[in-house]
Amino acid sequence: MFYSNYEKMYDLNGSYAVAKSKKTGKYGIVSYGGQTIAEFEYDQIERIKDSEYLLLNENGNQSLAYLQYISLEQNPVFKVLFASADVLI
């Protein structure tokens, strides 16, 4: 089972989860079917309370992203909105 590749996982919406790779120690986003949605290149991914927005931390740089669900049948779109989350302060 693909879950054994991850150190920890937390649910985003019942279909997708943030996961930490055992191999690299980096975070990414996966579907519960095993598809990688966002590559495992982040030091941390945090969900912003009760939203589809995610705060990404990569090498000390923060950015804001979101998952856009086109439909249940299609793959979600993962988009990074800003190069830096400093614009939110």
Domains of the chain: total: 1
Euclidean distance between CA atoms 28 and 39, whole angstroms: 5
What pLDDT, on the 0 to 100 scale, is given for residue 23? 93
Q: DSSP state, 44?
A: E
Q: How confident is the model at residue 52 (pLDDT cuts 50, 70, 90)?
A: confident
What pLDDT, on the 0 to 100 scale, is given for residue 40? 92
Q: Which pTM does this prediction carry?
A: 0.74
Contact 27, 42 (CB under 8 A): yes
Domain limits for position 23: 2-88
C-beta atoms surrounding 82 within 10 Å: 13
3-state secondary structure of 67: strand
What are the φ/ψ torsions at residue 80 (nearest 5 degrees)? -90, 125
Share of residues in the chain with pLDDT > 90 (%): 12
What pLDDT, on the 0 to 100 scale, is given for residue 27? 93
Q: DSSP state, 76?
A: P
Tens of pLDDT along 58-88? 887 777 776 665 544 555 566 665 545 454 4
What are the φ/ψ torsions at residue 7 (nearest 5 degrees)? -75, -40
